[in-house]
Amino acid sequence: MVDAPRLERLKASDVAPAVFDCGNALSLANGYPMAYMPADVRFDRYPNFLYDDRQRRAIPAKYRAEDHTPEAAVGRVVAGGGKCVKAHYEPDFDPRVGKLPVPSVDLMREVREASHRHRLPLLLHANSLEAHRFAVENRPDAVVHGMWNWGEENGDGAEVPRAVRETLDAERAAGIGMMPTSRVIGGLADLAGPAFLDDPQMTRVLPEAVVAWYRSRDGQWFAREVAQGMGQSTPDRVRGILTGIQARGQRAAAYFARGGGRILFGSDTPSAPTYANPPGYNGYLELRELESAGIPARQLLAAATIENARFFGLEDYGTLEPGKIASLLLLQTDPLLSTAAFDTIDTVIVGGRVVRRDALSASAP
């Protein structure tokens, strides 16, 4: 969901990044993520849903099918100034919720056609082998999330199974990009233990009082919920399972990149109510972890700049050229050699304005 008033307040801040959005996602009626809301409010909370005739008995009568076609839903994104269209293929995200309805092949093709009529790229939420196979069949412009659930092919070995390789190869051949968002799982794994909050960078990212609250029992509520949902009793077991899932997604993303696949940058911040996805810093962690997984620093720099700008049609961004208003970082080391360079910031320039890095710290007076 796009919180338009909050975005407008952010844009009006004294120092603010350029912010663009995809408008409200085209969630399938009673599918992901609508299913996580109570039935009596979910349609009001997700007003840009796609009408699915298979769900008609579970859709309130006040919502007309003709108002929730792919064309109508994409039209609302366009009217709101959206730069892209987001849809989902998520059959079983959480066993506590159960099997979820997913869009049909024909419906998703209508979504793609409507998006392209309006010259907007289509992003498909997909994090499983099943979902990526659906992407191959329907050809969105990019899959959002790496492939961390391999179904029957799940394993902890270093090799990428044949079925996974074939699907990734097919996506690459179809020109489908990938936004791996490795920190979605990493941010959950980092809840299992105090190490993340002990990171000295946290005092620069978040106010000291906020970090202290995260250490409290109340601040740890989501960590307990994650462990309970996984049926695990110890932090070490929770972290072990989640880091294994994250590693699968990273191996799939690295394989895709090595073959020449188009990597786009995104961190899905925050992907859940976890303190381990802090805005800004989480993007740095995403870059570091993808580089550790085997994606070259040069490709990641391109993904975070020119590739994203081209993909979303943001012609004023992504490159350094005369006439553009500068929003960039001046670094002390070479980001083509290592993503660690992004923690050697000398100067921050936002909208043509030079800002001291320490002035942006949460610990700044």
Q: What is the pLDDT of residue 157?
A: 66
- Are the CB atoms for 130 and 153 separated by under 8 Å? no
Q: Is residue 329 part of a domain?
A: no
C-alpha–C-alpha distance, residues 25 and 17, integer Å: 22
Q: What is the pLDDT of residue 233?
A: 76
Q: What is the pLDDT of residue 115?
A: 98
> What are the distances in angstroms from CA 100 to CA 29, 30, 134, 293?
10, 8, 15, 31
**pLDDT at position 222 over 80:** yes
Q: Which of 116, 283, 278 is nearest to 197 (CA)?
A: 278
Q: What is the pLDDT of residue 308?
A: 96
Q: What is the pLDDT of residue 275?
A: 94
> Looking at residues 241-260, what average pLDDT do you find?
95
Q: Is residue 20 part of a domain?
A: yes
Q: Which two tokens stand for residue 284?
A: 């740095």
- Are the CB atoms for 227 and 233 separated by under 8 Å? yes
Q: Is residue 91 part of a domain?
A: yes
**pLDDT at position 303 over 90:** yes
Mean residue pLDDT of the chain comes to 93
Report how many domains make up the chain.
Answer: 1
Q: Is residue 162 part of a domain?
A: yes
- Rounded to 5 degrees, φ, ψ at 329 are -115, 135
Q: Is residue 359 part of a domain?
A: no
Contacts of 291 (CB under 8 A, 6+ apart): 297, 300, 338, 339
Condensed to tens digits (0 to 9), the pLDDT of residues 52-82 reads: 999 999 999 999 999 999 999 999 999 999 9
Condensed to tens digits (0 to 9), the pLDDT of residues 309-350 reads: 999 999 999 999 999 989 999 999 999 999 999 999 999 999
Q: What is the pLDDT of residue 156?
A: 65
Q: Is residue 131 part of a domain?
A: yes
Q: Is residue 348 part of a domain?
A: no
Mean pLDDT lowest for which of 136-140, 199-203, 280-284? 199-203
CATH number at residue 299: 3.20.20.140
Q: Is residue 349 part of a domain?
A: no
- Are the CB atoms for 237 and 154 separated by under 8 Å? no
Q: Structural domain of residue 102, as residue ranges?
A: 4-322
